[in-house]
């Protein structure tokens, strides 16, 4: 429904285009609110003992929808008579409204053939205004319900979440460009952003930070799953005690599923070291649970550790940030020293360390933001502090990823640029005039022979002698470089010499008195599949990425024609004196 634009004339003015974007924002908010209202209404209908009428159910749905945007709710009816805040946001519910706002802004800003589109700023403002209009109406409607919205939270963070999702949608419609910075920003920063090198480094740092944050969250989810598996009986008892009928159990199950991302972030905070608060007087860390926890009966909270000092098994949670730091280092090194690039294109150790440090900073900032959303108050007394503390978890993630990630990135860079197994990288760094057997092999026919049909000097690289002595291939990843015994791949003719003009043992082709530079090349190995693939791989590496990525193979029909057209050795010998200067013609 969000992809369909309102029925407007093809030739519309700018005002009509802005109206269409405004209606998209209204439709996106209405879809999110309506979907949640339908779910709550179904649960209310199936409940055998509803506490209120349909109006109360719809007001509760509106309040929960605003809670999914980050708004803080208040329960006015409590046993103590003091209103109790509800600040824990189910993060799984946030995905729906954010995605709808993003889609609406993206569709409004994308160009469409035959229709006029508003500017990017106009689309952003129109979609945001339409969405926030529905937010204001939902807050006013839920004012008399069992869950009321704190008015201050409508500006922050609700409006900020909507504006951020809309801005991301407009940026996506524009192709995700990195535009220029504002004129009031420092000139040095503007010049840095304008460089392509800076953008590549920034992109690599952002990707590594995202991967590190994802590994932290995934590791936290694994910790929660293991803890629930160890105490599954307590989780089952809490689940059955909250509701006696099937409709209530379904509601509890849906609430638990929507809080799974929150539990994963709690586990990540536990593995990082600061842990999480189970009330104002209790904190759970890998060293143990201190204080008296105020834990309500809920299935996911059965994964909380027992009171007292931690066991050695709890210390295994510290492996989660270590693995996240290694993931950050690996992502940074993949861009710093790519496997398919020569040594000259690798980043310097300073650049690698700087990018990894920036990735660690981004990982810490992302973890702090997510943990701030995962926790919050659930009351005004002992449950006023519930969940991880963001200003401790964020710096802990920064310290872990920087202390382990930066040295690991430097070591991985050295390992990927090592000589053995990556010797082809020396082709770029070799000085002018230096003999390199690998370069000769790759620059010729790819079969271990030079352009005249003779082998390159086996003494140029010590690895060649080692391969000849042991009988093993020179490169495990290049089977076509396996030399024949004795270091020669030429074929002997009837007179004891090679068909392509050979050199004496241990010498060069030019030292042979009977050397013919334009003699016939061996025809059989030239058309083999292995040599064709070797030549194609060599050309592809030397082209700098210009060659197409498809195998160098010839159809069977063309291959048979080429074989039929090639002369035999007897015909070649007869045709050799036909040349004007006494030399044979090349095939």
User: Given this model, what pLDDT does residue 270 score?
Assistant: 96
pLDDT at 266 over 70: yes
Token pair 């690998």 is found at: 438
User: Given this model, what pLDDT does residue 584 score?
Assistant: 44
User: Given this model, what pLDDT does residue 421 score?
Assistant: 47
Q: What is the pLDDT of residues 326-370, one digit of tens each?
A: 999 999 999 999 887 777 888 999 999 999 999 999 999 999 999
Q: What is the mean pLDDT of residues 247-252?
A: 91
CA neighbours closer than 13 Å in the CB half-sphere of residue 124: 17
Sequence-ordered list of residues with C-beta below 8 angstroms from that of 445, at least 6 positions apart, any chain: 451, 526, 531, 534, 535
Q: What is the pLDDT of residues 102-129, one digit of tens each?
A: 999 999 998 776 667 788 999 999 999 9
Q: What is the pLDDT of residues 428-478, one digit of tens each?
A: 443 444 434 333 333 334 343 343 433 434 343 444 444 444 444 444 444
Q: How far is CA 150 from CA 82, 92, 162, 385, in A?
A: 15, 21, 17, 18
Q: What is the pLDDT of residues 423-435, one digit of tens each?
A: 444 444 434 444 3
Across all residues in the chain, what is the average pLDDT? 78
User: Given this model, what pLDDT does residue 1 score?
Assistant: 54
Q: What is the pLDDT of residues 270-323, one digit of tens each?
A: 999 999 999 998 999 999 999 889 888 899 999 999 888 888 889 999 999 999
Q: What is the pLDDT of residues 388-405, one digit of tens each?
A: 999 999 999 999 999 999
Q: What is the pLDDT of residues 477-522, one digit of tens each?
A: 444 444 444 343 444 444 444 334 444 444 444 455 555 555 555 5
Phi, psi at 42, each rounded to 5°: -65, -40
Which structure tokens are listed for 403? 């202390």
Residue 129 CB neighbour total at 10 angstroms: 16
Residue 121 CB neighbour total at 10 angstroms: 10
Strands 84-86 and 386-388: unpaired
Q: What angle do CA 149, 155, 160 make, to 5 degrees?
A: 120
Q: What is the mean pLDDT of residues 411-417?
A: 92
Confidence of residue 163 (pLDDT cuts 50, 70, 90): very high
Q: What is the mean pLDDT of residues 143-159?
A: 93
Q: How far apart are CA 64 and CA 405, in angstroms?
A: 40
Q: How far is CA 253 from CA 49, 133, 197, 239, 242, in A?
A: 19, 32, 49, 8, 10
Q: How far apart are CA 443 and CA 538, in angstroms?
A: 7
Q: What is the mean pLDDT of residues 24-28?
A: 97
User: Given this model, what pLDDT does residue 185 score?
Assistant: 74
The listed range with the strongest mean pLDDT (21-30, 190-199, 527-536) is 21-30
């Amino acid at each position: 429904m969000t992809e369909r634009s309102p029925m407007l004339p093809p030739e519309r003015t700018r005002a009509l285009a802005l109206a269409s974007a405004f209606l998209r924002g209204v439709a996106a908010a209405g879809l999110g609110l309506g979907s949640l209202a339908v779910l709550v209404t179904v649960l209310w209908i199936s409940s055998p003992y509803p506490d209120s009428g349909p109006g109360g159910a719809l007001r509760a749905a509106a309040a929960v929808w605003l809670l999914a945007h980050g708004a803080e709710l208040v329960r006015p009816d409590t046993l103590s008579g003091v209103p109790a805040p509800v600040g824990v946001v189910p993060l799984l519910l946030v995905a729906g409204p954010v995605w709808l706002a993003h889609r609406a802004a993206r569709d409004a800003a994308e160009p469409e053939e035959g229709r006029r589109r508003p500017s990017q700023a106009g689309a952003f403002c129109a979609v945001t205004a339409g969405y926030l209009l529905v937010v204001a109406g939902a807050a006013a409607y839920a004012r008399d319900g069992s869950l009321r919205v704190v008015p201050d939270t409508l500006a922050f963070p609700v409006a900020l979440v909507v504006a951020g999702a809309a801005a991301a949608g407009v940026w996506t419609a524009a192709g995700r460009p990195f535009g220029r910075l504002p004129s009031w920003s420092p000139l040095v920063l503007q010049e840095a952003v304008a460089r392509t090198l800076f953008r590549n480094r920034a992109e690599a740092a952002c990707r590594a930070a995202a991967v590190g944050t994802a590994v932290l969250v995934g590791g936290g989810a694994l910790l929660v799953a293991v803890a629930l598996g160890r105490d599954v009986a307590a989780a089952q008892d809490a689940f059955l005690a909250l509701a006696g009928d099937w409709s209530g159990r379904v509601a509890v199950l849906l609430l638990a599923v929507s809080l799974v991302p929150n539990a994963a972030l709690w586990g990540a905070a536990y593995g990082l070291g600061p842990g999480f608060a189970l009330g104002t007087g209790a904190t759970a860390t890998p060293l143990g649970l201190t204080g008296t926890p105020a834990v309500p009966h809920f299935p996911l909270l059965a994964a909380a550790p027992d009171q007292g000092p931690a066991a050695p098994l709890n210390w295994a949670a510290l492996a989660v940030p270590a693995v996240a730091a290694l993931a950050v280092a690996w992502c940074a090194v993949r861009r710093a020293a790519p496997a398919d690039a020569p040594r000259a294109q690798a980043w310097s150790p300073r650049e690698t360390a700087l990018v990894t440090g920036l990735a660690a900073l981004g990982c810490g900032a992302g973890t702090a933001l997510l943990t701030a959303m995962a926790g919050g108050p659930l009351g005004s007394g002992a449950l006023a502090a519930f969940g991880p503390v963001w200003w401790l978890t964020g710096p802990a993630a920064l310290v872990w990823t920087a202390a382990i990630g930066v040295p690991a990135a430097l070591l991985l860079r050295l390992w990927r640029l090592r000589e053995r197994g990556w010797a082809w990288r020396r082709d770029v760094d070799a000085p002018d005039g230096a003999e390199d057997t690998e370069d000769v092999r790759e620059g010729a026919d790819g079969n271990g022979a030079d352009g005249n049909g003779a082998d390159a000097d086996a003494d140029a690289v010590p690895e060649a002698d080692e391969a000849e002595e042991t009988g093993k291939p020179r490169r495990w990843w290049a089977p076509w470089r396996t030399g024949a015994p004795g270091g020669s791949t030429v074929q002997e003719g009837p007179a004891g010499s090679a068909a392509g003009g050979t050199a004496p043992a241990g010498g060069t082709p030019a030292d042979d008195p009977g050397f013919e530079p334009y003699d016939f090349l061996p025809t059989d190995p030239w058309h083999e599949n292995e040599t064709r693939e070797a030549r194609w791989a060599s050309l592809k590496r030397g082209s700098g990425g210009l060659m197409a990525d498809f195998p160098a193979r010839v159809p069977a029909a063309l291959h048979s024609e080429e074989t039929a057209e090639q002369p035999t050795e007897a015909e070649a010998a007869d045709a050799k004196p036909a040349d004007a200067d006494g030399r044979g013609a090349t095939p």
